[in-house]
């Protein structure tokens, strides 16, 4: 998950860097899309928001009961507590 989120953040940063180099006229450019037109600035803004939305959805899913059954979540929490206690015990 961290690798996916890192790749998504890197792609978003590349998009932001690319968009920052465009002139106002280029950003106002309209692009034909089927029967309608798209404005480049609006599409870029949508793409940046889209990446953030997926980032939030992934984090919400990873901590949700849709991913974790109660027994698996309990086992995970017990293991994390054991890891923490072992780390604390090693400090003395």
Domain of residue 22: give its range.
2-67
77 occurs within a structural domain = no
pLDDT for 53 beyond 80: yes
Query: Using one digit for the tens of pLDDT, what is the confidence trace for 13-46?
Result: 898 899 899 999 999 999 999 999 999 999 888 8
Tell me the whole-structure pTM to 2 decimals. 0.50
Given this model, what pLDDT does residue 52 score?
80
33 occurs within a structural domain = yes
44 occurs within a structural domain = yes
Query: Using one digit for the tens of pLDDT, what is the confidence trace for 77-92?
Result: 899 999 999 898 877 6
Question: How many domains in the chain?
Answer: 1
pLDDT for 73 beyond 90: no
Q: Is 10 helix (H, G, I), strand (E, B) or coil?
A: helix
């Amino acid at each position: 998950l961290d690798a996916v989120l890192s790749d998504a953040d890197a792609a978003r940063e590349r998009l932001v860097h690319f968009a920052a180099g465009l002139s106002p006229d280029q950003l106002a450019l309209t692009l034909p899309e089927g029967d309608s037109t798209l404005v480049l600035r609006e599409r870029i803004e949508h793409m940046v928001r889209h990446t953030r939305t997926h980032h939030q959805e992934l984090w919400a899913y990873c901590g949700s009961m849709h991913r974790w059954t109660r027994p698996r979540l309990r086992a995970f929490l017990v293991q994390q507590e054991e890891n923490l206690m072992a780390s604390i015990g090693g400090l003395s």
